[in-house]
Amino acid sequence: MTRRSKSTPEPTSTRLLAYVRVSTQQQVDDGFSLAGQKAELQKWAAYQNLPLDENLIFEDAGISGRHNLRPGLEAMLSTLKPGDTVATYALSRLARGGAMQTLALVERIHDAGARIVFLKEQIDTTSPYGRIMLVVLSEIALLEIEQMRERSEMGRLQAANEGRIPLGSSSRPYGLEIDDDGYPVWDEERARTIRRLFDLRNQKLSLRAVAKALEEEGHPTRRGKKASWESGVVHLILRNPVYKGELIYRQDRERIVIPVPPLVSPEDWQRAQGGYAGQRSHVNPEKFPLTGHLVCTCGSALVGQFAPRAKAHYTPHLYYACLPEVRHTEHCPTNGKRRRLWRTDELERAYVEALAALLENPHDPLRIQAAFGAPLPEDPHVQERQDVNAMLEELLDLRLKGQVTRAAYERQFEILSDRLKRLNAPAPLPIRAPDVPDLSHLAQLVRGAKGRDLAEFLDELGVVGQARGESRGLSRSRDLPRPEITVEIIDFQPLA
């Protein structure tokens, strides 16, 4: 009879796993391309006499290293066994979020009984020296990213203050170009189109009729003469003050008016803003009072639309949408989709409560700035809140695609939501409450206003809000917990 041992040790793996990543900003042919990383990893594996199976090369294409939830990374982590070796070309390929993010990922790999090697930095994290170098290099990498972002933002603000246009060709208004020094000039052909568009509108034509006339006369759209004109695009052009000589540039809480050569007089521009019977839903203040006072999390203006009805007898939902023709990019940066939707009832309720809270709180930074023109205190958690919101939205998207289990989704959702609540604590301000005008009576008016009355009230206050979270009922997984819909008031002007 053969005696069994009391415990059988778990077999140790000798596999080599590789992780490669490239963001959308990387050039295809530079040293960090997917093919380039794979080639370097193959060379290293051959030198170490370790076989590298193609099925064990995990990749994330077009995903930022600041995001924790990446399909390729999650797939690699879930397949780790004791004794495995993970190789990646450089520290920046694994993480871009600083030492905390990098060390958290390394700990997950170590907890699985595996080790990780960074080829470029020649770091093996199983040694104390390797772990120290890992912390130092990850912080240096994060510092470089932050410095590059700050320099870029400072350069754009400086350009705007000097009257130059800090926008790329896809972000500039229709017809607006820049000269060699960055100053605004108009494309002559499209300038004629703009003048004709305002002329038609001031003849009391509907948006649809204006679009049809421009198409029949052969005026080019942003995509050229072959593309058709849409009434929604006509509306956006009419509402843009750049055509009367004012380009509004916003960055964080900065608002700069850049003067440009006007194509129409202020009187003609204002006359073109008048309403008419039968206009498109997204310019109807009765149904969409937040239009013109609401932006997406990505910063693009939201417009009102009717949701398509599933059946003929169903009542269509109204919603605010982030659309490609408004933001001038194919996909919304916050969720990677062409459209991002919010139900009007949910979003308007959150908007009204956020504005009422602002009016009732004399210590709110925006109230202080509106009352005294005082500089806003620095909020150290702005970037971290944006990162957590992006992670919540990415987590929901991964669940809808079936790439994470429901249990994992709910566990991570609870962790991130709790973290977000702690980051939303208001910062103390040094100004005493009696110094700030009492606007609590306006809060009551805001809560009671509906439709056109609410739209006019927002016009008077000069309010702009930014939408966050997700609407229920607009996805195939309605029962999933998801980020609560909130609105952050990002611009507020005192009543005259």
Q: Show the tokens assigned to 322.
A: 């982030």
Residue 491 falls inside a structural domain: yes
Check if the beta carbon of residue 342 is closer than 8 Å to that of residue 302: yes
pLDDT tier for residue 287 given thresholds of 50, 70 and 90: confident
pLDDT tens digits along 194-251: 999 999 988 888 788 888 999 899 998 887 776 788 877 888 888 888 999 988 887 7
Do 392 and 478 fall into the same domain?
A: yes
Do 265 and 302 fall into the same domain?
A: no
pLDDT tens digits along 56-80: 999 888 888 878 788 889 899 999 9
Per DSSP, the residues of 210-235 read HHHHHHHTT--BTTBTTSPP-HHHHH
Task: Work out how many domains the chain is built from and give that number.
Answer: 3
Do 262 and 230 fall into the same domain?
A: yes
Asked if residue 19 has pLDDT above 50, the reply is yes
Burial class (CB in 10 A: 0-12, 13-18, 19+), 331: middle
DSSP 3-state of 487: strand
Domain end marker among 278, 304, 319:
278
Do 375 and 400 fall into the same domain?
A: yes
Burial class (CB in 10 A: 0-12, 13-18, 19+), 74: middle
Do 491 and 412 fall into the same domain?
A: yes
Residue 6 falls inside a structural domain: no
Residue 1 falls inside a structural domain: no
Domain with residue 81: its CATH number is 3.40.50.1390
Percentage of the chain modeled with pLDDT above 70: 73
Check if the beta carbon of residue 166 is closer than 8 Å to that of residue 249: yes
Domain end marker among 255, 278, 301:
278
Do 349 and 253 fall into the same domain?
A: no
Residue 7 falls inside a structural domain: no
DSSP 8-state code for residue 313: T
- State pTM to two decimals: 0.39
Catalytic residue among 5, 7, 13, 23: 23
Between CA 488 and CA 486 the distance in angstroms is 7
pLDDT of residue 450: 83
pLDDT tens digits along 388-397: 777 777 777 6
pLDDT tens digits along 427-478: 444 444 445 566 677 778 888 888 888 887 787 777 788 887 765 544 444 5
**Residue bearing the bigger pLDDT, 399 or 271:** 271
pLDDT tier for residue 86 given thresholds of 50, 70 and 90: very high
Do 222 and 324 fall into the same domain?
A: no
Domain with residue 218: its CATH number is 3.90.1750.20
What average pLDDT score do residues 18-41 get?
Answer: 74
Check if 231 is active-site: no
Residue 11 falls inside a structural domain: no
Do 263 and 346 fall into the same domain?
A: no
Do 262 and 214 fall into the same domain?
A: yes
Helix (H) / strand (E) containing 296: none
Residue 284 falls inside a structural domain: yes
Do 350 and 463 fall into the same domain?
A: yes
Residue 3 falls inside a structural domain: no
Residue 8 falls inside a structural domain: no
Matching residue, tokens 């991130």:
416
Do 24 and 135 fall into the same domain?
A: yes
Between CA 245 and CA 458 the distance in angstroms is 24
pLDDT tier for residue 367 given thresholds of 50, 70 and 90: low
Between CA 369 and CA 376 the distance in angstroms is 7
Per DSSP, the residues of 332-390 read -TTTSSS-EEEEHHHHHHHHHHHHHHHHH-TT-HHHHHHHH-PPPPP-TTHHHHHHHHH
Domain end marker among 278, 304, 334:
278
Between CA 112 and CA 74 the distance in angstroms is 13
Q: Which of 223, 168, 232 is nearest to 190 (CA)?
A: 223
Do 197 and 297 fall into the same domain?
A: no
Q: Which structural domain, as residue segments, surrounds residue 103?
A: 16-154
What average pLDDT score do residues 300-327 get?
Answer: 69
